[in-house]
Amino acid sequence: MQLPGRLYDSNADTVENDLCSWQVRPARYLGDDLDMFAAAREANLWAWAVGLVILVLTLAVWLVPKKKGEVREEKDGK
């Protein structure tokens, strides 16, 4: 079995280059169920891009100094 993404967990008999295979023999599952599993992950590039844009915008708002107005308020009496 070959899954999209990178294989990170499996109960396969052999795993080569993210391709997992099981040796299925009748005696192996005659009296019991045969459970085969494999799990793979694939990077969500769009999620990384959105997160990076949000991070850059947050840093830009936080780090860029705010422009101060030209008009100053005068204190009474001085």
Structure-token pair, residue 3: 């899954």
pTM: 0.49
Over 90: is that where the pLDDT of 78 sits? no
DSSP for 7-76, please give it: EEEE--SEEETTEEE----HHHHSSSPPP--EEEE---HHHHHHHHHHHHHHHHHHHSPPPPPS--PPPT
Q: What is the pLDDT of residues 14-45, one digit of tens each?
A: 888 878 888 887 776 677 777 888 988 888 88
The residue ranges of every structural domain in the chain are: 6-63
Q: What is the pLDDT of residues 37-70, one digit of tens each?
A: 898 888 888 999 999 999 999 998 888 876 665 4
Annotate 54-78 with b (16+ C-beta within 10 A) or e (fewer): eeeeeeeeeeeeeeeeeeeeeeeee
